[in-house]
Chains A and B, each alone.
Chain A
Amino acid sequence: AQSVTQPDIHITVSEGASLELRCNYSYGATPYLFWYVQSPGQGLQLLLKYFSGDTLVQGIKGFEAEFKRSQSSFNLRKPSVHWSDAAEYFCASSRAGTALIFGKGTTLSVSS
């Protein structure tokens, strides 16, 4: 069965430092992969998506993610974190025509 694992429940990063959030997927073929961000009490906003092609994907708000088939990973990165980036981040996968399968999420805290 398809699954998504986010190994880190909570990460704290200093403002201005770099960020990497980990995501591993389980699926025989290459799935569609997504990163969403959720602020408290809000819906989910799409940061970036990977369907095929270039394995380094650029998203909004300065985020990027790299698809690595050999590691079944799709890690999210940002070179310099801002206090406004504090939120819950969800990695998700799907196949064509199906709903999203989400990881349990990683809470990002930003310290000054």
Chain B
Amino acid sequence: EAEVAQSPRYKITEKSQAVAFWCDPISGHATLYWYRQILGQGPELLVQFQDESVVDDSQLPKDRFSAERLKGVDSTLKIQPAELGDSAMYLCASSYGRYNNEQFFGPGTRLTVL
């Protein structure tokens, strides 16, 4: 069964350092989402891509976060510099099309900022 891949699964970093997370969606899925899940909360959208274009990044802290999906396939989310409050689970999800709302989630990257 096709799955969304994410790496690394765990990342520990010190504040002010740069970190990057990678996501490979299910083959053929045009829409890709990055969510952030703080411990004890539900996931919240950071950025939504349709192919290589950003559809919604209204909740992305653009002073320190960036996301790209250059060829419309895999995607990278970067934080620079990391802050203590960025400690969270970062989840990637994909769906076949923008208007097909069944999203499939990857295992996530657990970030700890010290």
Is B107 at the interface (CB under 8 A from chain A)?
A: yes
Given A32-B101, A102-B42, A105-B42, A44:B91 Cβ within 8 A: yes
CA distance A42 to B9 in the complex (A): 10
Residue count of chain B within 8 Å CB distance of chain A: 25
How many contacting A-B pairs (Cβ < 8 A)? 59
* Residues in chain B near residue A105, CB distance under 8 A: 40-42
Q: Are A92 and B42 interface neighbours, CB within 8 A?
A: yes
Contact between chains at A99 and B108 (CB < 8 Å) = no
Cβ distance A57 to chain B, nearest Cβ, rounded Å: 13
Residues of B contacting A102 with CB < 8 Å? 42-44
Q: Which of A44, A90, A96, A104 contacts B101 (CB 8 A)?
A: A96
Q: At the interface, yes or no: A56 with Cβ under 8 Å from chain B?
A: no
In the complex, how many angstroms separate the beta carbon of A21 from the nearest chain B beta carbon? 13
User: Contact: A49 with B102, CB < 8 Å?
Assistant: yes
Residues of B23-78 whose CB lies within 8 A of A: 33, 35, 40-45, 48, 55-56
> Which of A43, A46, A103 has most B Cβ within 10 Å?
A43
A99 in contact with B107 given A43-B91, A44-B43 (CB within 8 Å): no
Residues of B within 8 A of A92 (CB): 42
Complex interface: chain B residues within 8 A of A43 (CB): 4, 91, 105-108
Q: Which residues of B contact A (CB under 8 A)?
A: 4, 33, 35, 40-45, 48, 55-56, 91, 93, 98-99, 101-108, 110
